[in-house]
Structure 1
Amino acid sequence: MSAGRAASGEPVGVGKPRIGLLGGSFDPVHSAHVDLARAALEQLALDHVELLPAADPWQRRPLGASARQRQTMLELATADHPRLLVNPVELERGGKTYTIDTVSQLPDTAQYIWILGTDQLQNFCSWHRWRDILGHVTLAVAQRPGSALQPPAELADALDSLGAGLLHIDFTPQNISATDVRRRIAAGEPTDDCLPPAVARYIGQHQLYLSYPA
């Protein structure tokens, strides 16, 4: 597949390694996460994608699995994909997880592309110090059910002022969410269509999410 292009239509620059970053609680990681990372890897000409499990996401309720369990599930989900890497930097840092703390510590040895869905794009301006985040990464967005592909006006204005583009990932929306996966597990419903087999086995072995609220 061809390299991604900015919203302006100009080719993405080359030179430094291109690293994709996909953050989230991954509670648990599911098939759509892996598919999105693979789509970004191929379409945006990335050297690799790093999946960053959050320690304590400040915008959501307490997590159902421990940091170590979520990291292990990510490692199981990506074991067959050598260019999908698990980066535990946010878990090691601990405390409330803010994206700006992660991206501001990135070494200036690569180009960084932050991968997100349209649901996250629409609330991006609620992220802590979101304008500063734009100075460290390029945003790459994939369609999610029920949310628009266009950025909100405030974000669009900020991107324009920086002369920054918004990359698009051609990704068929998948109606899978960690919330629904947890609900299914608690209800005893099958998850074969939404969890990597190794992750499903791990969840069963450790009896995760059996009483966790959706």
Structure 2
Amino acid sequence: MNQSTQRIGMLGGTFDPIHVGHLRSAIELQELLALDQLHMIPAQQPPLRDRPQVSATQRLALLKTGIGNTPGLVADDRELLREGPSYSADTLAELRIEYGSDTRLVMVIGYDAFLRLTDWHQPERLFELAHLVVMARPGYCDALSASLMELVEHRRVDSVEALMERPCGGYLSLELPSQMAVSATYIRHCLEAGKSVRYLVPATVEQAIESGKLYQRNE
């Protein structure tokens, strides 16, 4: 492989709100996969979950605040600019056009989302555009369904080096060193109850949530 070939990652999610688990995972992914850039992309309206409580614009602002000046991490607003549901295949297609056919493009998802991959929009197309890296998640050890095994098993590789031999089409399961079990749902519950979220989110994000009066229970 050409040593100058770029490695670009995509980490989508609601980031509702962004927290230290998201950000620490992003750093570890960047290091383990030797990514030049990791695009963190908030979903406008995730197809398989309820509408987030705060607006997409507010979630993007919190993401930008959380990332700050961290090298290689990019707060990417492209899914917020599209109408309708946020389909990962469409986002990967845009990134593939931007970075070119030889770039090693990687989509990263958590194991919980991976278990529902066959329910996604055009799951086969994902592999035509990118590699799939699945992060092990604390508490998730469910077996793969037959349809999911059929989709991914023949694509499986056992190392980052093997994954990066081609621009797309592979599947790698990756266990991050920290595996921080921080939940955005728990953070929202804390905020609604008026409890502290210190050390669950970056201090700058905590301040932005407080000043914007976000995630407070409506009386």
Measured against the shorter chain, the TM-score band is 0.7 to 0.9
1:147 pairs with 2:140: yes
1:203 corresponds to which residue? 209
Q: Which position in structure 1 is the counterpart of 2:11? A: 22
Contact 2:13/2:42 (CA < 8 Å) preserved in 1? yes
2:45 corresponds to 1:52: no
Q: Deviations over 1:98-141 (max 9, x none)?
A: 11121122215222111111111111121111121121111112
Whether contact under 8 Å (2:25, 2:179) holds in the other structure is: no
| Distance (whole Å) between structure 2 residues aligned to residue 91 and residue 36 of structure 1 | 22
Residue 158 of structure 1 deviates from its aligned partner by 2.2
- Once the two structures are TM-superposed, the CA of residue 78 in structure 1 deviates from its matched residue by 0.6
How many residues are matched? 201
- Per the alignment, residue 115 of structure 1 pairs with 108
Match of 2:71 among 57, 78, 82: 82
Whether the 8 Å contact between 1:64 and 1:209 is mirrored in structure 2 is yes
CA–CA distance in structure 2, aligned partners of residues 13 and 166 of structure 1: 21
For 1:75 and 1:156, how far apart are their aligned partners in 2?
Answer: 36
Structure 1 contact 117–144 (Cα < 8 Å) conserved = yes
CA distance in structure 1 between the aligned counterparts of 2:64 and 2:94, rounded to whole angstroms: 23
Superposition TM-score, scaled by structure 1 size: 0.85
Judging changes above 3 Å, is the alpha-carbon distance between structure 1 residues 68 and 118 closer, same or farther for their aligned structure 2 residues? same
The farther-off stretch of 178-187 and 143-152 is: 143-152
Indicate which of 77, 83, 86 corresponds to 1:94.
83
The answer to whether residue 22 in structure 2 is matched with residue 36 in structure 1 is no
Paired letter, 2:178: T
For the pair 1:189 / 2:195, whether they are aligned, the reply is yes
Structure holding more helix per residue: 2
Contact 2:107 2:130 in 1 (8 A): yes
Partner SS, residue 81 of structure 2: helix
Question: 4+ runs of 1 displaced by more than 6 Å?
Answer: none
The residue that corresponds to 2:51 in the other structure is 62
8 Å CA contact retained: 2:136, 2:173: no
> Hey, what's the Cα distance between the residues in 1 that align with 2:209 and 2:86?
24
> Do the aligned partners of 1:122 and 1:147 also contact (CA within 8 Å) in 2?
no
Q: Aligned partners of 1:150 and 1:172: how far apart in 2?
A: 23
AA of the residue aligned to 1:170: L
Measured at CA, do residues 162 and 116 of structure 1 come closer, stay the same or move farther in structure 2, by a change above 3 Å?
closer
Q: What percentage of aligned pairs have identical amino acids?
A: 29
Corresponding residue number in structure 1 for 2:149: 156
Deviation at 1:47, TM superposition (A): 0.5
Check whether the contact 1:143–1:149 (CA below 8 A) recurs between aligned residues.
no
User: How far apart, CA to CA, are the structure 2 residues paired with 1:27 and 1:80?
Assistant: 20
Change (3 A) 1:25 1:89: same
Query: Which runs of no fewer than 5 residues in structure 2 stay unpaired?
Result: 157-169
Give the secondary structure class of the aligned counterpart of 1:21.
strand
- Aligned-pair Cα RMSD in Å: 2.1
What do residues 50-85 of structure 1 show as CA deviations (whole Å, max 9, x unaligned)?
A: 100111112111211112211111111111312101
Q: What letter matches 1:33 in structure 2?
A: H
